Chains A and B, each alone.
Chain A
Amino acid sequence: MTNHWVDIKNADLVLIMGGNAAEAHICGFKWVQEAKHVRRAKLVVVDPRFTRSAAVADFYAPIRAGTDIAFLAGVINYLLENDKLQHEYVNAYTNAAFLIDPDYGFEDGLFTGYNAEKRSYDKATWRYQMGEDGFAKVDPTLQDPNCVFQLMKKHFARYDADAVSNITGTPKDAFLKVCEMIAECSAPDRVMTILYALGWTQHSVGSQNIRTMAMIQLLLGNMGMPGGGINALRGHANVQGVTDMCPFTANLPGYLSAPTERDATAEAYVAARTTKPLRPGQMNFYGNFPKWWVSLMKTWYGDAATAENGWAYDWLPKPDGSYDVLAMFERMHQGRMNGFFCQGFNPLASVAHKGKVSAALAKLKYLVVMDPLATDTSEFWKNYGEYNDVDPRQIQTEVFRLPAELFAEHEGSFTNSGRVIQWHWKAADGPGETRGDLEIIAQLYTRLRDLYAKEGGALPDPVLNLTWPYRQPTRPSADEVAREVSGRALRDLTDAAGNVVVKAGDQLAGFAQLRDDGSTASGNWIYCGSYSQAGNLTARRDNSDPSGLGQTLNWGFAWPANRRIIYNRASCDPSGKPWDPKRALLRWTGTAWGGNDVPDMRPNAAPEEGVGPFIMNAEGVARLFAPGMIEGPFPEHYEPFETPLARNPLHPDKPEVTSNPAARVYKGDMELFGKADEFPYVATTYRLAEHFHFWTKTSVINAVLQPEHFVEISEELAAEKGIGKGDVVKVRSNRGEIKAVAVVTKRIPVLQVDGRKVHTVGIPLHYGFKGETKPGYITNTLTPFVGDANSQTPEYKAFLVDIEKA
């Protein structure tokens, strides 16, 4: 979330699309109710199902799963056509005025530079025109045909209300009603928030779904505003924190881009990531990359990381390709992996195409499952009849299962969706011989280190030189690790006049103190300052809120820098006055920025200096045109890989752009995509109020509340297929089948799309063969093995099935 949970109460309009907060984020949803009751805010829900969020909405619009870009692109077109923009904001805080390479273009669903064989783009023309002064060229009048604003107008002009309704199945009047409600928020003192979740990410165009919405929020001037922003309602209680630590191949902690085979030396690696300002006077915060990276390397390798050895650059692994979860299972399926660790993760149930995942796990030499609970994955080799029909004798994988502690059995910090890091304390030991995750990792590491010290082996150096300063080497405490993550001075830090500002060994106050000369250490720069000399700030419990906005600046610690709303400089006009004085976060006091949040701006940057509010971008402004995206600098509607239409209505004669032309598809998986003639119904997976992923099925009370796997269909489809309420039905995709109980409801709308009727089948995902719930099939038996082109998040939310009475 750019904003945070309590801030939802400051919105005038709440849009829930690609999520269902009333059932999936229940205690967060109360802030939507607060906004409705106290501010008289309106709630709009757009969803393929009439959810419980929809049930309390002021307006609900149905939509076909997988067509959100068409809907949102239609909103952009409506705003542009009807001149419902926050003009001053768009001009000053976005790249609307920037000029793009005249060779850039878009035709028949493809941007310039497409390579069909590689399914990827050469982005050479997706760039700014550069002036002789070294800065990007702009046209503040927005009239130049190559400026972003004009290109955007042209690109989205195709998405008129009729085209949108034809693709999405949303009735035209409902679509226009939503447009009108959103457009009201172009006034500087009216703000919309968007709450989305996996209903947007789990598509082959997931990142572009979110980006299209981000463009709308920029055009309305809602980024940085209290009650505004782009708010991802994330998964687990610490999914945000774990993301921040970056257990990803492509990133080091704090989202630092990790080295690849293209980065031959430390100098080249750092240079390629240290940006230069694209406009005069901008903060260009990524210019600080060397400080963050060197501080990380000093944390990990201490004295062994020196300026001479490029801060131990050689010890960072350089991958030869992608290793996201789909790529990993693809490699495993090809027999290219031997070992695998699942730390509190149940991939057999939660990764797409269970059949492939199961076959892949069977090819491993060893699998290590660390979990408090018996997961389906840990018993992938065991026969559970029709629910997991495997032959253990044929599976040679050695499986270890290590009992771990649950949340209440150890201390540590969780980072909520609003980036607030909160400490939790230990209430009791876990049952039996359970041990904490810290100890399990430390035991494995110290034993390996001893083996390498004694026996040698492949490159022992990084293993032997890894810093391990914990008082009990096999049992690091959460407190010690939290201090390390935040960071400290390794030598006395002095200011320009030679005065010591931080003593050697002291905890740092924030990332502004990080240096690139090896004198500071921080395990994750965005968490720097969370554990300062003042102590563990994540454990703070002062919930006072003098602002009245719900900022609670002394509760826990929000990254970065305890800032609760990021981009908050954009809540003021260019002269430094709040757009809405009744909801003032910040203002320019004449000498500094001050107010109800930590300014997302150099504190003494006077408004007349023209420093843009989007400090992480070298432009200083936000990108309506975003060349970083894999499949295009502007969003375009592409059909899900399994589409009920067999064509993209925008480009009916161009089969190569039916679905995302830049999404990665593995050989074998493309052939397994189902076609509408055999699998005519759109399926979408979802979550229930009573269950959390595959976790609560182990909890008796939740199993009692929702005991059995079901699928939800409309009365019309039920009648057509002769299915009655409570019948057991078989749902088939081209990858497998499941059986579940039919729940026939009025909650699943039947839509008219591209001249035909489209039915939707809703499939909750919480069931499996291990649990206190009735044994069930794993929903992801059905789902396709293809991900979003940018993030590789699998397309769980739109695929094709057939359904019949079992």
Chain B
Amino acid sequence: MHVSRRGFFKVCAAGMTGSSLATMGFAPTAVLAEVRQYKLAHATETRSICPYCSVSCGTLVYSMGDKSRNAKARIFHIEGDPDNPVNRGSLCPKGAGLLDMVHSPLRLTHPEVREPGSNQWKRISWDEAFDRIARHMKADRDANFVDKNDAGLTVNRWTTTGFLASSAASNEPSYLSIKVMRALGVVAIDTQARI
């Protein structure tokens, strides 16, 4: 006997349970198919924005896991956000491939250093990376900081280390980067917005 999925639910709604139907040797194909549940129904939906072009399309990011402390969420689907007034649910060929960027084989997963003259990367800890970079910065700043120019004017600038800011960063890290760089006296600051 063949019963369609919809028909099966109608039968259930009429008062019988699926399991009792099954014990009666009544196993519709829809019951078997039901083993594979609709993934999105159990996903956590997070509102985000495509990071590519400046249309900044709204996206819905679907991840497995409920964001509880010990559940490691994994993103498995990204689509356009139908509520967003600009893209109204659509994504372009770039944005439609976002999932592959999130899981790109070229994602960096740990800090590393390439020593002078070396031909390879060496994995290091975050602590070592931060400490070594901070040391470099301090050494360069202390050696090359200019407090006054030739005319005696206070200029307090550090010209020998530069910072290129990302246009893909969110506003908050972008602002914080500028705040720190200006406080250090860095004047060589620019961004992708220039090019």
Q: For the complex, would chain B's binding face be called helix, strand, loop or mixed by DSSP majority?
A: mixed
In this assembly, does A30 line the interface, its C-beta being within 8 Å of a C-beta of chain B? yes
**11 A-B pairs, CB-CB below 8 angstroms?**
A236-B53, A248-B189, A372-B108, A406-B101, A414-B56, A427-B61, A430-B107, A447-B130, A459-B156, A552-B85, A791-B194
B107 touches A431 (CB 8 A): yes
A133 to B134, CA, bound (A): 57
For residue A372, which residues in chain B have a CB less than 8 angstroms away from its CB?
107-108
Is there contact, CB below 8 Å, between A523 and B169?
no
Which of A264, A342, A403, A452 is in CB contact (< 8 Å) with B110? Answer: A403
| A249 CA to B166 CA, complexed, in Å | 15
Give me the 5 closest cross-chain CB pairs, A-B, nearest first.
A432-B109, A344-B166, A412-B170, A26-B92, A339-B161
Query: Which of B12-20, B24-32, B146-154 is the contact stretch?
Result: B146-154
Expressed in whole angstroms, the Cα–Cα distance for A317 and B165 within the complex equals 18
CA of A245 to CA of B177, assembled, Å: 10
The stretch that binds A, out of B3-11, B33-41, B111-119, is B111-119
Inter-chain pairs besides A237-B54, A403-B109, A432-B107, 14 sampled, C-beta below 8 Å: A5-B86, A238-B169, A248-B189, A320-B155, A337-B162, A343-B164, A433-B110, A437-B169, A466-B179, A545-B85, A690-B94, A695-B101, A699-B101, A700-B97
Interface residues of A in 779-798 (CB under 8 A from B): 791-794, 796
Interface residues of A in 167-218 (CB under 8 A from B): 202
Q: Within the complex, what minimum Cβ distance (angstroms) separates B178 from chain A?
A: 5
Decide: A392 and B61 in contact? CB cutoff 8 A: no
Q: Are A429 and B73 in contact (CB under 8 A)?
A: yes
- A608 to B72 Cα, complex, angstroms: 64
A316 at the interface (CB under 8 A from B): yes
Q: Give the docked Cα–Cα distance between A239 and B116 (Å).
A: 33
Specify which chain A residues have a CB less than 8 angstroms from the CB of B191 in the assembled complex. 239, 242-243, 247-248, 345
Known A261-B153, A441-B173; contact A247-B178, beta-carbon cutoff 8 A: yes
B42 proximal to A (CB < 8 A): no
Q: A428-B73, A550-B85 are in contact. Are A366 and B187 (CB under 8 A)?
A: no
Task: Output the least CB separation between B73 and chain A (Å).
Answer: 4
By a CB distance below 8 angstroms, the chain B residues around A691 are: 94
Within 8 Å CB of A771, what residues of B? 106
Task: Give the A-binding residues of B (Cβ under 8 A).
Answer: 44, 46-58, 61-63, 65, 72-75, 78, 80, 83-88, 90-98, 100-102, 104-119, 121, 126, 129-138, 140-142, 144-147, 149, 151, 153-195
Given the known interface contacts A27-B92, A444-B180, A793-B194, the answer about A337 and B136 at a Cβ–Cβ threshold of 8 Å is no
A347, CB-defined interface residue at 8 Å: yes
Instruction: List the A residue with the shortest CB-CB distance to B111.
Output: A402
Q: Bits for A18-46, please: 1 = Cβ < 8 Å to B, else 0.
A: 00000011111011000000000000000
Chain A, 386-425, CB within 8 A of any chain B CB: 392-404, 406-408, 410-418, 420-422, 424-425
Q: Which of B117, B165, B182 contacts A396 (CB 8 A)?
A: B117
The reply to whether B183 and A436 contact each other, CB–CB distance below 8 Å, is no
Q: List, in ascending order, chain A residues with CB within 8 A of B137's CB.
A: 339, 444, 448
A414 to B151 CA separation, bound complex (whole angstroms): 43
In the complex, what residues of B have CB within 8 A of residue A545's CB? 85
| Residue contact A433 to B171, C-beta cutoff 8 Å | no
| A791→B56 CA distance, assembly (Å) | 24
**Contact, CB under 8 Å: A247 / B155:** no
Q: Please encode chain A, from 575 to 610, with 1 for each CB lying within 8 Å of some chain B CB and 0 for all others.
A: 000000000000000000000000000000000000
Taking a contact as CB atoms under 8 Å apart, the answer to whether A523 and B179 are in contact is yes
- Find out whether the CB atom of A336 lies under 8 angstroms from the CB atom of B160: yes
**A101-109, A476-484, A620-628, A724-732: which one contacts chain B?**
A476-484
- Give Cα A705 to B46, complex, Å: 27
- How near does chain B come to A481, taking the closest CB pair, in angstroms? 4
How far, in whole Å, are A791 and B50 apart by their CA atoms in the complex? 27
Nearest Cβ in chain B — how far from A765, in angstroms?
Answer: 11
Please tell me which one of the listed residues A316, A328, A426 contacts residue B182 in the complex, with CB atoms under 8 A apart.
A316
Which partner residue on chain B sits nearest A705 by CB separation?
A: B93
B94 touches A702 (CB 8 A): yes
Pick the contact of B170: A351, A371, A478, A696 (CB < 8 A).
A478
The interface residues of chain A lying within 8 Å CB-to-CB of B135 are: 451
Q: Tell me the bound Cα distance from A28 to B92 in angstroms.
A: 10
The distance from the CB of A197 to the nearest CB of chain B, in whole angstroms, is 9
- B145 x A247 contact (CB < 8 A): no
**Bound CA–CA A338/B106 (angstroms):** 28
Of B75, B140, B169, the residue contacting A408 (CB under 8 A) is B75
Q: Across the A-B interface, how many residue pairs have beta carbons closer than 8 Å? A: 490
Least CB distance, A560 to chain B, in whole angstroms: 15
- Measured CA separation A206–B48 after assembly (Å): 33
Q: How far is the CA of A527 from the CA of B171 in the complex (A)?
A: 10
Which of B56, B63, B138, B159 lies in contact with A237, CB distance below 8 A?
Answer: B56
> B87, B109, B159, B166 — which one has the most chain A CB atoms within 10 A of its CB?
B166
- CB–CB B171/A27 < 8 A: no
Residues from chain B with Cβ under 8 Å of A129 in the complex: none
Q: Knowing A320-B155, A424-B49, A485-B172 touch, does A395 contact B108 (C-beta < 8 A)? A: no
The answer to whether A482 and B172 touch across the interface, beta carbons within 8 angstroms, is: yes
Report if A350 contacts B (CB, 8 A): yes
Q: Does A287 contact B (CB under 8 A)?
A: no
CA distance A384 to B119 in the complex (A): 11
CB-defined contacts of B180 to chain A, threshold 8 Å: 441, 444-445, 466
With contacts A236-B54, A408-B102, A695-B101 taken as known, whether A481 is within 8 angstroms of B176 at the C-beta atoms is: yes
A462 to B176, Cβ gap below 8 A? Answer: no
A515 at the interface (CB under 8 A from B): no
Contact B142 A371 (CB under 8 A): no
Q: Which of A6, A238, A336, A702 contacts B51 (CB 8 A)?
A: A238
Residues of chain B with a CB closer than 8 A to A347's CB: 164
Picked from A343, A345, A772, the residue with its CB within 8 Å of the CB of B106 is A772
Taking CB atoms, residues of chain A closer than 8 Å to B52 are 236-237, 692, 695-696
B190 adjacent to A328 (CB under 8 Å): yes
> Which residues of A are found within 8 Å of B141, using beta-carbon distances?
457-458
Contact of B97 (CB < 8 Å), options: A344, A401, A481, A699? A699
- Chain A residue nearest to B48 (CB atoms) is A424
A382 at the interface (CB under 8 A from B): yes
User: A734 contacts the other chain (Cβ, under 8 Å)?
Assistant: no
> Do the beta carbons of A422 and B168 come within 8 Å of each other?
no
Q: Which of A315, A416, A444, A481 contacts B56 (CB 8 A)?
A: A416
Are A772 and B178 in contact (CB-based, < 8 A)? no
- Nearest CB in chain A: distance from B157 CB, A: 4
Report whether B190 and A247 are in contact in the complex, using a CB–CB cutoff of 8 Å. yes
Choose among B108, B154, B179, B190 the residue that contacts A249 (Cβ–Cβ < 8 A).
B190
Chain B residues with CB under 8 Å of A80's CB are none
Which residues on A sit within 8 Å (CB–CB) of B153?
261, 264, 318
A345-B134 in contact (CB<8A): no
Bound-state Cα–Cα, A748 to B118, Å: 45
Residue-by-residue, is A538-552 near B (CB-CB < 8 Å gives 1, otherwise 0)? Answer: 000101010000101
Q: Which residues of B contact A328 (CB under 8 A)?
A: 162, 164, 188, 190
- CB of B195 within 8 A of CB of A793, answer yes
Q: Which residues of A contact B74 (CB under 8 A)?
A: 428
- Does A219 sit at the interface, judged by CB under 8 A? no
Minimum CB distance partner of B172 in chain A: A481
In chain A between 751 and 770, which residues have their CB closer than 8 angstroms to a CB of chain B? 770
- The answer to whether B172 touches A772, judged by C-beta atoms less than 8 angstroms apart, is no
B105 cross-chain contacts in A, Cβ below 8 A: 698, 700, 772
Beta-carbon contact of B136 and A412 below 8 Å: no
> Is the pair B193, A242 in contact by a Cβ cutoff of 8 Å?
yes
Q: Which residues of B contact A432 (CB under 8 A)?
A: 107-110
Q: How far is the CA of A634 from the CA of B147 in the complex (A)?
A: 40
Q: Chain B's nearest CB lies how many Å from the CB of A656?
A: 27
CA distance A438 to B175 in the complex (A): 10
Q: Give B184's nearest chain A residue, CB to CB.
A: A463
Given contact pairs A237-B51, A320-B159, A702 touches B97 in the complex (Cβ within 8 A): yes
User: A416 vs B53: C-alpha distance in the bound complex, in angstroms?
Assistant: 9
The residue in A332, A368, A476 that gathers the most chain B C-beta atoms within 10 A of its C-beta is A368
Does A434 count as interface, using CB distance less than 8 angstroms?
A: yes
Task: Give the shortest distance, in Å, between A788 (CB) and chain B (any CB).
Answer: 10
